[in-house]
């Protein structure tokens, strides 16, 4: 029945458990990451996927008891179905989001199916191990779960550090499906090849082969599918689409380096509009102008701003001698320097000898950066908007406390506050800074969301010392509402 020795066969079953656990966790992380990119709410998406999948795994384990009489054939069938569902899950969910609009229901459906199939693996693998050699149940369970958990560790680390940045979500899920099919075939067609009857073995072979063919065809068409989906999602042809460890970077419009075509460019980071060429000059002038007018400006720190646009406006102010740009995504920094359209928009600011770029998370860099001499006259927080899970830590009292320690005497901090203007102002006040809110309006209605209504941006300028009276000229100063005590936002927590 078994060609290898019992010891070797048992190791191969444990290897299959290791591989299947790694694949299962990759599917799980694919669903969480896709939901986070599309909807921007990683906490909700992770909670939905994890809870639904774990519950479905329990149901799958119960259902698998009915198939333990033919464990090898059942395992091969389960792996083929899991490869098909998990491998195609990203394409299907992306399509549902773009064209059908029923993403949450589809997410729950795929998480349930994947969980059912993953849950069926352990009972079948346990039965196979006992058929190789009877042993105490506790020892067999310990060995099997050890392989399962180590496999989950490898899959969990491979996803963000290998699969996502090198293959992307679509191709990574499809390749994982192929690996799943191979694991099932190893058990049914070689290790336990005497169990399935010849007709069953033929049907299983056809099934596994069909799954591999479907996944290969999906991979061949994934490029065209992604281009069509992105065109529908972003409202125009996508010129650049990159996937880094941190986000998806999409650049639309703008087919040449000249100023006119560059004005049609749009940069999307993790699905959110970050730069609209026609309005970027007005936005960055409003972001940096008041802070640069308020006093000394020889040394400037830009937190975020990997597109180089804030740095361009900072360099345009007289007296600026040194600019440090701290951006966590090296891929965005390289694109800002290499892409002719982005270089036209930022005027090659990142290549200016006065500019030093640092690839690091802003929060972590502030914690470890040397703070002697409180080195910066102006700090520009050109960061993702508050409300995105990955950005919320950049709007807390702890973050602003670190920023304050980097400000030189008389230095200024400016923050794009989005819809949380007075909450940001109150958090800045809590760390000893004096905030002043202001607003600016975009010049091009096509850059707004919803379209055809000019965008309005809200900023907070803060300093330890009172700000000069004329520092907010050219923008719309805002008065803090007096209906609630100013500490309410701080007591309720960070924005």
Q: Are 258 and 265 in contact (CB under 8 A)?
A: no
Catalytic residues: 382
Instruction: Give Dmax (Cα) for the chain.
Output: 88
Rounded to 10 deg, the angle between the 103-132 and 6-39 helix axes is 170
Q: Which two tokens stand for residue 430?
A: 């809590």
In terms of residues, how long is the chain? Answer: 495
Tokens 């082969």 belong to which residue? 209
Q: β-pairing, 476-478 with 322-327?
A: unpaired
Q: β-pairing, 272-276 with 299-304?
A: unpaired
Q: Is 327 annotated as a binding residue?
A: yes
Q: Is 473 helix (H, G, I), strand (E, B) or coil?
A: coil
Kindly report the number of other CB atoms within 10 A of residue 486's CB atom: 15
Q: Is 247 annotated as a binding residue?
A: yes
Question: Which residues, other chains included, contact 249 with Cβ-Cβ below 8 Å and sequence gap of 6+?
Answer: 240, 241, 242, 243, 267, 268, 269, 329, 331, 332, 335
Q: Is 284 annotated as a binding residue?
A: yes
Question: Which residues, other chains included, contact 109 with Cβ-Cβ below 8 Å and sequence gap of 6+?
Answer: none
Q: Is 339 annotated as a binding residue?
A: no
Q: Is 279 annotated as a binding residue?
A: no
Q: Is 362 annotated as a binding residue?
A: yes
Q: Measure Cα distances from 121 to 135, 153, 212 in Å.
A: 19, 17, 20
Conformation bin of residue 456: beta by default, left when phi > 0, alpha when psi is -120 to 50: beta
Measured CA to CA, the distance from residue 39 to residue 96 in angstroms comes to: 13
Measured CA to CA, the distance from residue 93 to residue 230 in angstroms comes to: 14
Return binding residues for S-methyl-5'-thioadenosine: 247, 327, 361-362
Q: Which residues are annotated as a binding site for spermidine?
A: 284, 307
Q: Write out the binding residues.
A: 247, 284, 307, 327, 361-362
């Amino acid at each position: 029945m078994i060609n290898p020795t019992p010891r070797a066969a048992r190791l191969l079953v444990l290897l299959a458990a290791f591989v299947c656990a790694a694949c299962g966790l990759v599917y799980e992380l694919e669903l969480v990451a896709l939901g986070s990119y599309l909807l921007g709410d990683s906490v909700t998406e992770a909670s939905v996927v994890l809870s639904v999948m774990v519950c479905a795994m329990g149901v799958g384990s119960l259902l698998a008891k009915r198939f333990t009489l033919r464990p090898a054939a059942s395992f091969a069938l389960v792996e083929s179905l899991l490869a098909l569902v998990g491998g195609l899950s990203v394409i299907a969910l992306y399509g549902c989001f773009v064209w059908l609009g029923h993403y949450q229901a589809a997410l729950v459906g795929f998480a349930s199916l994947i969980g059912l199939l993953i849950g069926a693996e352990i009972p079948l693998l346990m039965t196979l191990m006992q058929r190789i050699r009877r042993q105490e149940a506790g020892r067999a369970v310990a060995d099997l779960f050890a392989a399962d958990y180590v496999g989950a560790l490898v899959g969990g680390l491979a996803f963000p550090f290998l699969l996502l940045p090198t293959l992307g979500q679509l191709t990574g899920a499809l390749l994982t499906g192929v690996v799943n099919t191979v694991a099932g075939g190893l058990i049914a067609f070689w290790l336990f090849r005497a169990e399935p009857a010849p007709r069953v073995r033929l049907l299983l072979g056809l099934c596994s082969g069909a799954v591999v063919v479907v996944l290969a065809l999906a991979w061949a068409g994934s490029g065209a599918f992604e281009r069509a989906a992105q065109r529908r999602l972003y409202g125009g042809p996508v010129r650049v689409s990159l996937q880094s460890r941190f986000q998806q970077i999409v650049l639309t419009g703008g087919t040449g380096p000249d100023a006119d075509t560059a004005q049609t460019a749009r940069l999307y980071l993790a699905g959110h509009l970050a730069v609209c060429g026609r309005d970027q000059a007005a936005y960055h002038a409003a972001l940096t102008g008041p802070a640069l007018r308020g006093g000394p400006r020889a040394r400037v720190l830009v937190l975020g701003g990997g597109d180089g646009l804030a740095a361009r406006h900072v360099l345009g102010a007289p007296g600026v001698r040194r600019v440090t740009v701290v951006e966590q995504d090296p891929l965005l920094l390289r694109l800002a320097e290499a892409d002719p359209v982005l270089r036209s928009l930022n005027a090659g600011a990142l290549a200016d000898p006065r500019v030093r770029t640092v690839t690091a998370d802003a929060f972590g860099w502030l914690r470890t950066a040397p703070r002697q001499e409180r080195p910066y006259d102006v700090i520009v927080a050109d960061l993702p908007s508050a409300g995105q899970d990955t950005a919320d830590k950049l709007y807390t009292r702890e973050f602003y406390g670190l920023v304050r320690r980097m400000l030189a005497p008389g230095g200024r901090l400016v923050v794009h506050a989005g819809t949380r203007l007075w909450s940001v102002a109150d958090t800045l006040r809590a760390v000893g800074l004096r905030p002043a809110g202001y607003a600016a309006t975009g010049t091009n209605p096509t850059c707004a969301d919803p379209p055809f209504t000019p965008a309005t941006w809200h900023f907070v300028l803060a300093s330890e010392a009172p700000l000069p009276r004329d520092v907010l000229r050219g923008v719309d100063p805002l008065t803090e509402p007096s209906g609630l005590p100013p500490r309410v936002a701080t007591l309720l927590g960070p924005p």
